[in-house]
């Protein structure tokens, strides 16, 4: 089982999601990573499309019996994920 940390370093919003998803796909499909940490240091906002990227990543990893962890989430992103019960699907750690 291989593990990797990815740090987008910018807000996860519609404009960057296609590129971000492409990178995630490379990591999971081509590099065979099954334990992925997305480090949200420097990320202040996640929009609906961004949320979709997290869920799609979780779904991809689940198919491979892998695991997604979101780390260093800001207070509002942590709150949002918890309120939307996304913590029931993948682990979220506050920064």
Q: Give the x/- contact pattern for other proteins in 11-40, rule: CB under 8 A.
A: ---x--xx--x--xx--xx-----------
The verdict on 1 binding other proteins (CB under 8 A) reads no
Give the separation between CA 44 and CA 93, rounded to whole angstroms: 15
Spatial separation of the C-alpha atoms in residues 75 and 77, rounded to whole Å: 6
Q: Name which position in 6, 16, 55, 71 contacts other proteins (CB under 8 A).
A: 55
If one asks whether residue 76 binds other proteins (CB under 8 A), the answer comes out as yes
Q: Which of 46, 68, 70, 72 binds other proteins (CB under 8 A)?
A: 46
CA torsion 2→90→82→50, rounded to 10°?
Answer: 70
24 touches 54 (CB < 8 A): no
Q: Is 60 in the site for other proteins (CB under 8 A)?
A: yes
């Amino acid at each position: 089982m291989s593990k990797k940390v990815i740090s987008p370093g910018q807000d996860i919003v519609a404009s960057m999601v296609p590129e971000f998803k492409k990178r995630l796909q490379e990591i999971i499909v081509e590099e065979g990573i099954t334990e992925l940490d997305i480090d949200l240091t420097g990320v202040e906002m996640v929009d609906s499309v961004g949320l979709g990227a997290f869920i799609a990543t979780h779904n991809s990893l689940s198919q491979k019996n892998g695991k997604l962890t979101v780390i260093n989430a800001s207070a509002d992103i942590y709150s949002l994920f918890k309120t939307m019960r996304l913590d029931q699907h993948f682990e979220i750690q506050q920064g």
